[in-house]
């Protein structure tokens, strides 16, 4: 699936960016070979932004690891957002933690694609009036662990135009600052996302490739964005038996999923990491939950009382591999809003989690032990 706009003379560009010119430099008739001359900007057409795009102190494109530019797709359908209006955190509340798509060693995390439907306005004046990410939506993307986000619009921030919410004089780039400031690459001017959407709706996985041109010190570069469907592979006992040893990457991925879901207060993703018969020992609590359902009831009670994670730091991580079982431990420092009136509480705890592989090949959290640090 081709997700790129073609580079042609006079194509749309961001206001103030270099115009695109594609011209003949050499011909077979004149010089014995056809060669085109290209005049483009680093953000022409479908392109990737490096953090350097918005800050001189942040990484250039060539300093970023290549694995950021490919992965399986998470897509959000945002065609209901009005032209020129923000995409909010509420619009993106259903996105899973990026690490949830990891399929084992060597597989990168999920990429986030935002289908605004605005590719249909490509080449018209209306393309400037695209939806854009507000600061809370950009922060949610970072909090869910995404290191790459792409959309079928001109920018993740509003573009100045007649009647815009943000004037050209007051224009800044909050979404760029939040995403790029956290090492997240930004891909703009995608097209054809309906192909990805249809493939995902049919139950297929989709792998996306967003590799930029190799330009040392670049703030961005055009890309050829493509995607392909992946067959939905059902794990089998023969392919991944219950006694198959866990790898370090599998345990780290499972722990990352759990931590990211906890930090985002993502109830469904958080409890999906626990085995149905998981056990718990929580020393900070007056009484440890007896089961996963009891723990969820406790969690729901916290949320109802105004509890919300504001900061979550995972430190001093350790993994001990024990065949099909593994022990993960870390020091977790959490600052949470503890009530509806905005009270805050910081906890410093040692968490030990036992992971195990089930018969269907899934890695579950089967036991959690929480104690006050450094007890």
Based on its alpha-carbon atoms, the radius of gyration of the chain, rounded to whole angstroms, reads 23
Question: What is the per-residue burial (b if ≥16 Cβ within 10 Å, else e) of 205-244?
Answer: bbbbebebbeeeebbbbbbebbbebeeeeeeeeeebeeee
CATH code of the domain in which 275 resides? 3.10.450.50
Average pLDDT over residues 58-85: 91
Same domain, 354 and 211: no
Quick count: other Cβ atoms within 10 Å of Cβ 298?
15
Same domain, 220 and 313: no
Same domain, 214 and 289: no
| Residue 17 is assigned to a structural domain of this protein | no
User: Considering 182, 204, 230, which residue would you say is the last residue of a domain?
Assistant: 230
Tokens of 369: 């032990």
User: Considering 171, 202, 230, which residue would you say is the last residue of a domain?
Assistant: 230
Full 3-state SS string of 63-119: HCCHHHHEEEEEEEECCCCCCCCEECCCCCCCCCCHHHHCCCCCCCCCEEEEECCHH
CB 236 within 8 A of CB 248: no
187 has which bridge partners?
48, 150
Same domain, 220 and 263: no
- Through-space distance between the first and last CA atoms of the chain, rounded to whole angstroms: 54
Q: How many CA atoms lie within 13 A of 324 on its CB side?
A: 13
Q: Which residue has the higher pLDDT, 333 or 94?
A: 333
pLDDT-based confidence at 374, cuts 50/70/90? low
pLDDT at res. 160: 82
| Residue 144 is assigned to a structural domain of this protein | yes
Same domain, 253 and 126: no
- Position 243 pLDDT exceeds 50: no
Same domain, 58 and 181: yes
User: Considering 230, 260, 280, which residue would you say is the last residue of a domain?
Assistant: 230
The Cα-based distances of 328 to 94, 242, 265, 288 in angstroms read 27, 19, 21, 20
Alpha-carbon distance 3 to 190, whole Å? 6
Q: Tell me which of 10-19, 238-247, 283-292 is least confident.
A: 238-247
Q: Give the helix ranges, DSSP H, for the chain.
A: 28-31, 135-143, 174-181, 193-201, 248-263, 267-271, 292-304
User: Judging by beta carbons within 10 Å of its beta carbon (0-12, 13-18, 19+), is residue 57 exposed, middle or buried?
Assistant: exposed
Same domain, 201 and 299: no
Give counts: helices (H), strands (E), the chain: 7, 17
CATH code of the domain in which 88 resides? 3.50.30.50
Average pLDDT over residues 194-214: 93
pLDDT at res. 353: 95
pLDDT at res. 239: 39
Question: What is the per-residue burial (b if ≥16 Cβ within 10 Å, else e) of 24-40?
Answer: eeeeeeeeeeeeeeeeb
On average, the pLDDT of the chain sits at: 87
Q: How many domains does the chain have?
A: 2
| Residue 35 is assigned to a structural domain of this protein | no
pLDDT-based confidence at 102, cuts 50/70/90? very low
pLDDT-based confidence at 236, cuts 50/70/90? very low
371 has which bridge partners?
350
| Residue 294 is assigned to a structural domain of this protein | yes
pTM above 0.85, yes or no: no
pLDDT-based confidence at 306, cuts 50/70/90? confident
Average pLDDT over residues 334-360: 84
Same domain, 225 and 253: no
Q: Tell me which of 61-65, 107-111, 179-183, 346-350 is least confident.
A: 107-111
pLDDT by residue (tens digit) across 12-45? 999 999 999 999 999 999 999 999 999 999 999 9
pLDDT by residue (tens digit) across 324-342? 899 999 999 989 888 767 7
| Residue 31 is assigned to a structural domain of this protein | no
Same domain, 208 and 130: yes
Q: Tell me which of 136-150, 177-191, 336-350 is least confident.
A: 336-350
Same domain, 50 and 195: yes
pLDDT by residue (tens digit) across 256-277? 989 998 988 888 889 989 988 8
| Residue 34 is assigned to a structural domain of this protein | no
| Residue 273 is assigned to a structural domain of this protein | yes
Q: Which residue has the higher pLDDT, 359 or 97?
A: 97
Same domain, 196 and 317: no
| Residue 259 is assigned to a structural domain of this protein | yes
Same domain, 266 and 324: yes
Range of the domain at 348: 248-372
350 has which bridge partners?
331, 371
Residues ≥6 apart with Cβ < 8 Å to 155: 14, 130, 132, 176, 188
């Amino acid at each position: 699936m081709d997700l790129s706009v073609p580079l042609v003379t006079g194509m749309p560009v961001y206001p103030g960016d270099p115009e695109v010119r594609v011209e003949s430099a050499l011909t077979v008739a004149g010089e014995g070979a056809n060669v085109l001359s290209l005049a483009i900007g680093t953000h022409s057409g479908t392109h990737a932004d490096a953090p350097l795009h918005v800050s001189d102190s942040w990484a250039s494109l060539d300093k970023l690891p290549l694995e950021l530019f490919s992965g399986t797709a998470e897509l959000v359908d945002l065609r209901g957002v009005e032209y020129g209006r923000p995409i909010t955190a509420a619009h993106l509340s259903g996105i899973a933690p990026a690490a949830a798509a990891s399929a084992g060693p060597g597989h990168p995390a999920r990429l986030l694609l935002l289908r605004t439907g605005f590719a249909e306005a490509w080449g018209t004046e209306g393309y400037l009036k695209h939806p854009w990410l507000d600061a809370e939506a950009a922060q949610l993307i970072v909090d869910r662990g995404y290191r790459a986000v792409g959309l079928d619009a001109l920018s993740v921030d509003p573009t100045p135009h007649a009647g815009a919410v943000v004037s050209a004089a007051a224009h800044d780039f909050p979404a760029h600052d939040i995403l790029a400031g956290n090492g997240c690459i930004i891909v703009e001017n995608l097209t054809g996302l309906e192909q990805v959407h249809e493939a995902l709706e049919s139950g297929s996985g989709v792998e996306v490739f967003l590799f930029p041109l190799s330009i040392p010190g670049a703030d961005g570069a055009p890309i050829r964005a493509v995607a392909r469907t992946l067959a939905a592979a059902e794990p089998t006992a023969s392919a991944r038996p219950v006694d198959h040893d866990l790898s370090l990457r599998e345990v780290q991925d499972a722990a990352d999923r759990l931590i990211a879901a906890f930090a985002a207060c993502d109830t469904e993703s958080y409890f999906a990491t626990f085995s149905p018969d998981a056990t718990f020992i929580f020393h900070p609590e007056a009484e440890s939950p007896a089961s996963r359902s009891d723990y969820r009831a406790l969690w729901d009670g916290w949320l109802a009382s105004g509890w919300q994670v504001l900061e979550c730091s995972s430190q001093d991580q350790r993994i001990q591999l024990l065949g099909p079982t593994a022990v993960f431990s870390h020091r977790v420092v959490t600052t949470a809003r503890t009530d509806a009136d905005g009270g805050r509480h910081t906890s410093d705890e040692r968490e030990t989690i036992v992971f195990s592989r089930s018969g269907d090949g899934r890695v579950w959290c089967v036991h959690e032990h929480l104690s006050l640090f450094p007890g």
